[in-house]
Amino acid sequence: MDKKLTNSPNKPWAEKAEQVMIRYCGAFSSMVVEKALGSYMYTAEGKAILDFTSGQMCSIFGHNHPAVVAAIGQACEQSIHLLSTVLSPPVINLCEQLSEMLPSGLDKCILLNTGSESNEVAIRMAKLVTGGFEIVGFTGSWHGMTAGAQSHTYSQTRQGYGPVMPGSLAIPAPYAYRCPIRHCEGRCDNSCLEVGFEMVDKQSVGAYAAFIAEPILSAAGIIDLPPAYIKRLKELCQERGLLLIFDEAQTAFGRAGYNFAFERDGIVPDFLTLSKTLGGGLPLAATVTSKEIEATCYDLGFINVTSHVSDPLPAQVGLAMIATLFGERMVQKAREQGAYLKDQLLQLQEKHQCIGDVRGRGLLLGVEIVQDRETKTPAVALGHEISERCLELGLSMNIVRIKGFGGVFRIAPPLTISREEIDSGISILDQAFSEVTKKFSSN
The Cα–Cα gap between 30 and 175 comes to: 32
Angular region, 189: left φ>0, alpha ψ -120 to 50, beta rest: alpha
166 burial (CB, 10 Å; 0-12 / 13-18 / 19+) is: exposed
**b/e string for 214-241 if b means 16 or more Cβ within 10 A?**
bbbbbbbbbbbbbeebbeebbebbeebe
**b/e string for 294-327 if b means 16 or more Cβ within 10 A?**
beebeeeebeeeeebbbbbbbbbbbbbbbebbee
- Is 423 an annotated catalytic residue? no
Q: Where are the alpha helices (DSSP H) in 241-379?
A: 291-299, 312-327, 330-351
Q: Please report, to the nearest 10 degrees, the dihedral formed by the alpha carbons of residues 271, 277, 282, 288 taken in order.
A: -10
CA proximity to 127, closest of 93, 166, 162: 166
- Is 410 an annotated catalytic residue? yes
Q: 107, 214, 294, 311: which is the annotated catalytic residue?
A: 214
Q: 250, 337, 344, 349: which is the annotated catalytic residue?
A: 250
- Is 142 an annotated catalytic residue? yes
The Cα–Cα gap between 52 and 40 comes to: 9
Q: 117, 247, 263, 265: which is the annotated catalytic residue?
A: 247
- CA of residue 426 relative to chain centroid, distance: 22
Beta bridge partners of 169: 136
Total residues belonging to the chain:
443
Query: What is the CB neighbour count within 10 angstroms for residue 358?
Result: 21
Q: 142, 150, 294, 337: which is the annotated catalytic residue?
A: 142
Radius of gyration of the chain (CA): 22
List all residues 6 or more positions away from 224 whose beta carbon is below 8 Å from its beta carbon.
Answer: 215, 216, 359, 360, 361
- Is 372 an annotated catalytic residue? no
17, 41, 164 from 20: Cα distances, Å:
5, 24, 30
Q: Cβ(16)–Cβ(22) under 8 Å?
A: no
Beta strands in 85-180 (DSSP E): 108-112, 134-138, 168-171
Q: Cβ(363)–Cβ(51) under 8 Å?
A: no
Instruction: Report which residue type is found at 289.
Output: T
E strand or H helix that includes residue 288: strand 285-289
The Cα–Cα gap between 363 and 419 comes to: 13
Q: 234, 276, 359, 361: which is the annotated catalytic residue?
A: 276
Question: Which residues are known catalytic residues?
Answer: 142, 214, 247, 250, 276, 410
